[in-house]
Amino acid sequence: HAKNKGKNAYEVFHEEMAHKASKRLALEANLRKALQNNELSLHYQPQIDVRTGRMRGMEVLIRWNCEALGGAVSPVEFIPVAEESGVIVPLGRWVLQTAVRQAAAWRKAGLMEDIDHMAVNVSACQTKDTQLMYEVQALLMETGLPPRLLELEITEGVLMENVNANIALLHKIQAAGIHLSIDDFGTGYSSMAYLKRFPIDQLKIDRSFVNDVPGDGAAIAKAIIAMAHSLNLSVVAEGVETEEQVAFLADAGCDVMQGFYFARPMPAEELEVLLRERRLWAAA
Ligand code: C2E
Ligand code: MG
Ligand code: MG
Ligand code: MG
């Protein structure tokens, strides 16, 4: 960079570090106000049943439009900050509340009949929060949403951080009738032995492997599908963008697909239109 002219490598490095730190602080300060300022919203991305082409579910994805920072901030950027700063606790509670209430409203309108689950992402801090299960169950009681309609997504990395505690938590979730899905599967280090111990319903093949189809990702995706099916788990491929990936995954026996090829994450009003239309995608 021209602006770095005349500075030595250390000075440049130091400035970049300071810049990163102040950016993170700004992010954290604004994030703390995001809830009160009504700057958070939820988007919903359809998940398509490979065999029938129907929408079998949707994943809830948080969006933050921060006025002070001049617009949308990606969850890839702010979720880690929310986790480190503890803001994830009220934020995660808001996500669950908003999503479960939306699902209950759609169900009352008769729009959830074809839908198996609404999937909500749960972060590391939330799994350590002993209140989580009480809150979720209170929410299900309050809204009347059948637990089977709710699916929690926990990343493989989070699950493997504290295996024994997580196995206990997953058993509670399962006993409550809530579905469980392992997110970003293949990026962590779970062995088949661990997978057998986790009471889970589904694996989500990480986007990085789906992106790499055709390529090395293909062999990995096939291996994950075979392993999942041998453990009686269903498989979702995330980040599906091309017709070639759809054809490959369908042929490999993948159960569910999610990605820009089918639909982007969208606001509730737009997803509701697809539900009303009982929109079908061409079965792959
Ligand atoms: P994730 O749970 O693995 O979610 C999938 C991400 O892939 C989403 O990014 C989604 O928009 C994106 N995606 C879906 N299809 C495609 C595709 O075809 N191509 C590409 N390039 N991307 C696709 P998003 O919404 O930016 O979220 C990123 C991550 O942030 C999520 O990854 C999740 O780990 C986290 N996150 C989002 N919402 C929440 C939330 O409410 N709570 C928590 N704890 N984490 C969240
Ligand atoms: Mg997810
Ligand atoms: Mg994922
Ligand atoms: Mg991810």
Q: Identify the pLDDT of residue 229.
A: 96
Angle at 108 between CA 177 and CA 148, to 5 degrees: 10
CB proximity list for 212: less than 8 A, separation 6 or greater: 218, 220
Q: Identify the pLDDT of residue 1.
A: 59
In this structure, are residues 90 and 123 in contact, taking their beta carbons and an 8 Å threshold?
no
Q: How far apart are CA 179 and CA 117, in angstroms?
A: 8
CB proximity list for 119: less than 8 A, separation 6 or greater: 47, 57, 58, 59, 60, 151, 152, 153, 181
Q: What is the ipTM of this complex?
A: 0.97
CA 153 to chain centre: 6
The minimum-distance atom of ligand 1 relative to the CA of 120 is 41
Nearest C-alpha neighbor of 275 from the set 63, 62, 102, 95 = 102
- Reported for 213-221, long-range contacts at CB under 8 A and 24+ positions apart, including other chains, are 213/244, 213/245, 213/248, 213/249, 214/244, 214/248, 218/248, 218/252, 220/186, 221/248, 221/249, 221/252, 221/254
Neighbour tally for 120: CB within 10 Å:
25
Using CB distances shorter than 6 Å, the residues near ligand 1 are: 45, 61-62, 74-76, 79, 92, 95, 121, 123, 153, 183-184, 207, 238-241, 258-260, 265
pLDDT by residue for the chain (284 residues), tens digit each?
Answer: 556 677 888 787 778 877 888 888 889 999 999 999 999 999 999 999 999 999 999 999 999 999 999 999 999 999 999 999 999 999 999 999 999 999 999 999 999 999 999 999 999 888 887 788 889 999 999 999 999 999 999 999 888 888 888 898 999 999 999 999 999 998 887 777 788 889 999 999 999 999 999 899 999 999 999 999 999 999 999 999 999 999 999 999 999 999 999 999 999 999 999 999 999 998 65
- pTM, full prediction: 0.94
Q: Is 69 helix (H, G, I), strand (E, B) or coil?
A: coil
Residue whose Cα lies nearest atom 46 of ligand 1: it is 121
Q: Identify the pLDDT of residue 240.
A: 98
The minimum-distance atom of ligand 1 relative to the CA of 43 is 25
Q: How far apart are CA 198 and CA 191, in angstroms?
A: 11
In this structure, are residues 221 and 209 in contact, taking their beta carbons and an 8 Å threshold?
yes
Q: Identify the pLDDT of residue 12.
A: 79
Place of tokens 């908003």: 98
Ligand 4 centroid from CA 8, angstroms: 37
Q: Identify the pLDDT of residue 166.
A: 87
Q: How far apart are CA 120 and CA 18, in angstroms?
A: 35
Neighbour tally for 83: CB within 10 Å:
18
Q: Identify the pLDDT of residue 283.
A: 61
Q: Identify the pLDDT of residue 3.
A: 61
Ligand 2 centroid from CA 121, angstroms: 5
Nearest ligand (C-alpha, residue 76): 1
Ligand 3 centroid from CA 236, angstroms: 10
CB proximity list for 7: less than 8 A, separation 6 or greater: 15
Residue whose Cα lies nearest atom 8 of ligand 1: it is 61
Buried b (16+ CB within 10 A) or exposed e, 196-220: eebebbbbbbbbebbbebeeebbeb
